[in-house]
Structure formats: C-alpha cells, structure tokens
C-alpha cells in the first residue's frame, strides 16, 4: 500500500503548492462535466457551458495539474445561431456534457444543445459533433446527428475502425420517473449520421435514477461503460459495467458506485461528485470528475468544478468466480475525492492561478471573458478609446433568455477582491453601469451608478429567484463618475462594497451576505461589467480602464 503523506507549502505571493502535492479542484470556477483526452504528450479537458458564449472551453496541460485555457469549441457566432442556438436559449439549457477525443490527428467534440421552444412548448435536443486539427481551433461548423435522442453523448473509436455513438435517453417503458437508459449506434463520419441497428445497453446500477454522461473504454479486450447516476446533487455517483461485446450485455460492478459522496457527511469539503471521464497515462490511470465545494451552507458560489483523482485497476479476488473481472478503483486509499494528492509526474509543481487582470490594451478579448448567450453586435468595443473597454448603453436588461450588455469571467474562489475603474457620463435618464456578480438571470447582484433626476446614484441591488429586485443601499455621488473605482471584497461569508472617487480615498459603501449567489443551477457565478439604458434608447456608454480580480483559497 502506498502512503500518502500530505505536505503543503503555500505562499500568498505566488500561490505555489508544495512540490510533491497538488490541490483540487484542478479547474476552479464553473467547469462542470469534465471530459479529457491525450494527444502526443499533452492533455486536453473540455467542459459544459450551457447558456454561455463562447462555449466549450478547452484547457491544455502537460502534467494534469497545471491547465491553460487555449480556446473554445464554439468560438464563432456563426456556430451558435442555426444548428446550435445560443442566441435566446433558456437558463441551464444550451451546451450539456461534452466528450472530447483525439483520433488519427483530429480532435472531436460531441455534445448536446438543449433548447426549449416557448411557442410549441417542446424541447429540442440537438446532438452534434465539431472537429479540429488543433485543439486551439478553428473548430468546424456543428454537424447535427439526426435521430439522436437524449443528452450527454460519447464518441468511441474502436480498434476495428468503427465509430460508435453512446447516448442516453428516457426508455420507452420506464419503471419509475427519472429512469434513464444508455443506447449505442454506429456513426457514419463521412456523412455525419447514425447508421445500423440501435442497441440498448444499461439502465444503471444503484436505482438507475437519471442515468447519463456515458463514456465507453476498451481495456484488455473488454468494453467498460461508465455513467453518471443519481442526479447532479448530493446523490450524484459514478457507476461502471463491463462486457465482452460492445453491444452488450453489460455486467454491473458489484462494488458500484466507484465514486460518490453518498456515504459521506453532507459537510465533507466537496459533495455531489460524479460525471467522470478516465484517462490512461503510461500504464497509470486518472479520473476527472465534477464536484461542488461546501464553502457556504454545503454549497458554493462557484458551482460544479473539475477535480483530478488517481485510479488503480484491481482484479476480483474471489476464488469461486470462474471469470474474475478487473475494475477501476477510484482514489484507492480513501474512496473519495481528497483535497490533495501526490503530483502525477515527478518534479511537477502546481501553480494555482489566483488572479485575472485585463488592462484592455489588446485588440481582442482575453479568453477568460464570456457572455450570457451570443452578444449583440457592436456593443463591446476595444478600439474606440485606447486602453479602455467601451460598453454601450443598450436598452436590454438582465432577464431570462435576454442578451444584456454583460461580460464576465468565472468566480474561482469564495474569497476574492474584484475592482474596476470606470468613466461614465450618461446622457439619458435610467442609464446604468458598473459591476455585476451573476449566478443566473434571476439571481445577481449589481453594484452600479445610475442616472436619476436627483443626480448620479450609486447603488447595490440584488435579484433573487421569485423575488422582486431589492435595493440594498443607495446614495448620491458627490462627484462625476470619472475614474470611479468600484470594488467588491468577499471575505468571511460577506461582501464589502467599496468605492473611490477621483482624488479621494477608498470608502466602504455597504455590505451584504455572499450566500445571495449560492449555486442554484448548472453553472457557477460569473463576475463582470454591465451597462444598460434600462429600456430607453441611448447613445451613451461606459469606458472601463481595467479590471483586476484576486482570489484567495480557503484552508
């Protein structure tokens, strides 16, 4: 048995973790449903993005613990307006549970776009594939696979050259509400269509509720089917089954689930672990899985994040069994996702990225920036004023299925400092600009300057589900919003809202609880910039000089 001795050396200045250990999550912030592949000596992870654009972030690593965002699978607006609709998609719709694979020099991502049509009251599940020679892009237009029900598809390249679609759907005659079923069908990649007979493989291991997220693997001539089960909450779990034939029948592992927090206290540091993908590394195996940190009320503002766990394969020891199957054992010494593990590669050191700064000196947006749905044209301008981001005051506001002028990046820790400097001289009444911390269209905090008849009003407002917008605090500015600094400090489960006028010193404006933005959906919180004219036409705008974000890890 190996002994895991945890030695952690942390410095506030560099965020350097001790040489022999790495810390989970490996992708902090909203990075659910991780899928991983290897090409050459580099690893790649893709994650779900739901209603956000660009979609399908792709991270690259050489050591499995230091990851760099290198691009997106859905990075052009043209990819997201026809086959894939991210223009007016509903919250928690959009891009679900992708799989990324590399085969014969080409990358493949297969995934689902879920779009609810309010007029017909129907939901369209668009399962599609995009491809690229380089993970950084450019990626192809989406190739829709007609006749593919359900969500969370997997693409499997078999040794004989055949390519298979592994999907999930609700069976025709379910035994109970929420029962899922995994199905299999061959893919014709020359014509981007399913072909041949459809095979129904498995309905899960431990109750079979919401069986989803399938991944197929082949090891020593046997086919392993791994799935998520139990829903993406405290009962989330990873199950696995084996077969001699890809078409089945599949035998469930008697020791399922192979990963879960079902058996742990709700107060364990991470919960809801599941939706995993396996990767082989020089005869060793690892697993990436999502989990939710329990920083606040057994939850967190960051939502579901990506974690890395070691895996060992063990053969059943029972002498009475004629056939002894080999099974993956996840986190073999603890059976759960630990916060720290020995680094996968000797000599590697994990450098946790704790800061994000943008001075808006580049001609293009940094990759970390995201929009809720495809943004409106000519609203976010980097070249109107050198060294500034100009955001126009559009009538749209933050609302369900809307396209407001908000741009943000992922919150990566519960404790952080976020600040920006803004020039805002609104021409029209009701024009508003500043910072927004958003969990969903019906759950966000705005820290903004708004034009009123009395003058420029600085205010903090909160929107919560099923509640009207509430102003937490407001006060007239005693100066123009020229070089106005807005700052939010998250510490000890509280937000502090600070401001500084030109030539003045920082002043505390008000405070609120940080649990106003606890994870309530499939995505975590995003922090960013927002400008609106609140329904009226306007030629106004706000100029942002820079944005600075610094995150602090909790012990």
33-53 per-position pLDDT tens digit: 999 999 999 999 999 999 999
Over residues 478-491, the pLDDT tens digits come to 889 999 999 999 99
Would you state the pLDDT for residue 245? Answer: 98
Residue 95: closest CA among 148, 160, 142: 142
Whether 338 is catalytic: no
Residue of 186, 212, 229, 277 with catalytic role: 212
Question: What are the residues facing 455 on neighbouring strands?
Answer: 452
Q: Where in the chain is the domain with CATH 2.115.10.20?
A: 27-314
Q: List the structure tokens of 465.
A: 């589900």
Q: Which CATH superfamily is domain 27-314 in?
A: Glycosyl hydrolase domain; family 43 (2.115.10.20)
Q: Picking from 4-13, 503-512, 532-541, which range would have the lowest pLDDT averaged per residue?
A: 4-13
Q: Which residue has the tokens 């005869």?
A: 283
d(CA 75, CA 138): 8
How far is residue 202 from each of residues 96, 180, 242, 325, measured CA to CA in Å? 21, 9, 10, 18
Q: What are 361-393's pLDDT values in tens digits?
A: 999 999 999 999 999 999 999 999 999 999 999
Of 8-17, 314-323, 496-505, the least confident: 8-17
Predicted confidence (pLDDT) per residue in 225-268, tens digit: 999 999 999 999 999 999 999 999 999 999 999 999 999 999 99
| Average pLDDT of every residue of the chain | 94
Average pLDDT (3-27) is: 55
Distance, CA of 58 to CA of 46 (rounded, Å) = 5
Residues 55-108: tens digit of each pLDDT? 999 999 999 999 999 999 999 999 999 999 999 999 999 999 999 999 999 999
Phi then psi for residue 88, to 5 deg, are -130, 35
State the Cα–Cα distance between residues 26 and 8, nearest whole angstrom.
Answer: 16
For domain 355-552, which architecture applies?
Answer: Sandwich (2.60)
Whether the link from the prior residue into 84 is cis, omega within 30° of 0, is no
Quick one: pLDDT at residue 19? Answer: 54
212 among known catalytic residues: yes
Helix residue ranges per DSSP H, 201-256: none
- Evaluate if residue 17 carries a pLDDT over 80: no
Residue 520's pLDDT is: 83
pLDDT at 13 over 70: no
pLDDT at 289: 98
Catalytic residue among 33, 63, 277, 419: 33
Residue 276, token pair as written in the block: 């995993």
Q: Give the pLDDT confidence score for residue 427 in this predicted structure.
A: 85
8 A C-beta contact, residue 332 and residue 49: no
pLDDT at 494 over 70: yes
- CA geometry: angle 239, 241, 246, nearest 5 deg: 135
Which two tokens mark 419?
Answer: 């600040």
| The pLDDT of residue 450 is above 90 | yes
């Amino acid at each position: 048995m190996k002994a895991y001795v945890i030695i952690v050396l942390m410095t506030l200045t560099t965020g350097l973790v001790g040489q022999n250990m790495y810390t989970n999550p490996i992708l902090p912030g909203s990075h659910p449903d991780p899928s991983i592949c290897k090409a050459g000596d580099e690893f790649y992870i893709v994650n779900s993005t739901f209603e956000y654009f660009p979609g399908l972030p792709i991270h690259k690593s050489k050591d499995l613990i230091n990851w760099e965002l290198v691009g997106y699978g859905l990075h052009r607006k043209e990819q997201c307006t026809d086959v894939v609709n991210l223009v007016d998609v509903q919250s928690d719709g959009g891009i679900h549970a992708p799989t990324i694979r590399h085969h014969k020099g080409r990358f493949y991502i297969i995934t689902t776009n879920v779009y609810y049509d309010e007029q017909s009251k129907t939901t369209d599940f668009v399962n599609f594939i995009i491809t690229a020679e380089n993970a950084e892009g450019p990626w192809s237009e989406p190739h829709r696979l007609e006749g593919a029900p359900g969500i969370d598809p997997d693409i499997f390249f078999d040794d004989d050259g055949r390519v298979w679609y592994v999907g999930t759907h609700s069976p025709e005659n379910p035994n109970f509400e929420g029962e899922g079923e995994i199905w299999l069908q061959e893919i014709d990649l020359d014509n981007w269509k399913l072909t041949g007979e459809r095979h129904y493989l498995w309905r899960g291991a431990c109750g079979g509720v919401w069986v989803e997220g399938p991944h197929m693997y082949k090891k020593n001539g046997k086919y392993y089917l791994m799935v998520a089960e139990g829903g993406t909450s405290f009962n989330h779990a990873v199950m696995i089954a084996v077969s001699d034939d890809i078409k089945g029948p599949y035998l469930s592992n008697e020791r399922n689930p192979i990963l879960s927090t079902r058996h742990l206290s709700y107060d364990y540091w991470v919960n809801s672990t599941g939706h995993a993908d396996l990767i082989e590394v020089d005869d060793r195996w690892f697993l990436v899985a999502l989990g939710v940190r329990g920083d606040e009320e057994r939850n967190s503002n960051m939502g579901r994040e990506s974690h890395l766990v070691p895996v060992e394969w063990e053969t059943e020891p029972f002498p009475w069994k004629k056939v002894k199957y080999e099974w993956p054992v996840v986190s073999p010494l603890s059976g759960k996702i630990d916060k720290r593990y020995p680094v996968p590669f000797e000599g590697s050191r994990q450098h946790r990225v704790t800061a994000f700064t943008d001075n808006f000196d580049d001609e293009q947006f940094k990759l970390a920036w995201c929009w809720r749905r495809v943004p409106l044209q000519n609203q976010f301008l980097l070249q109107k004023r050198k060294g500034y981001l100009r955001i126009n005051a559009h009538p749209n506001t933050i609302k369900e299925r809307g396209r407001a002028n908000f741009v943000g990046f992922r919150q990566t820790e519960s404790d952080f400092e976020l600040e920006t400097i803004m020039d805002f001289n609104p021409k029209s009444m009701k024009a508003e600009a500043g910072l927004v911390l958003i969990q969903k269209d019906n759950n966000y905090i705005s820290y903004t300057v708004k034009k009123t008849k009395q003058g420029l009003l600085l205010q903090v407002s909160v929107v919560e589900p099923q509640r009207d917008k509430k102003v937490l605090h407001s006060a007239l500015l005693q100066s123009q919003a020229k070089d106005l600094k807005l700052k939010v400090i998250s510490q000890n489960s509280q937000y502090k809202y600070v401001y500084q006028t030109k030539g003045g010193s920082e002043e505390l404006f008000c405070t609120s609880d940080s649990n106003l933005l606890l994870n309530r959906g499939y995505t975590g919180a995003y922090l960013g910039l927002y400008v609106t004219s609140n329904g009226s036409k306007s030629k106004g705008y706000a100029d942002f000089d820079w944005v600075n974000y610094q995150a602090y890890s909790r012990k």
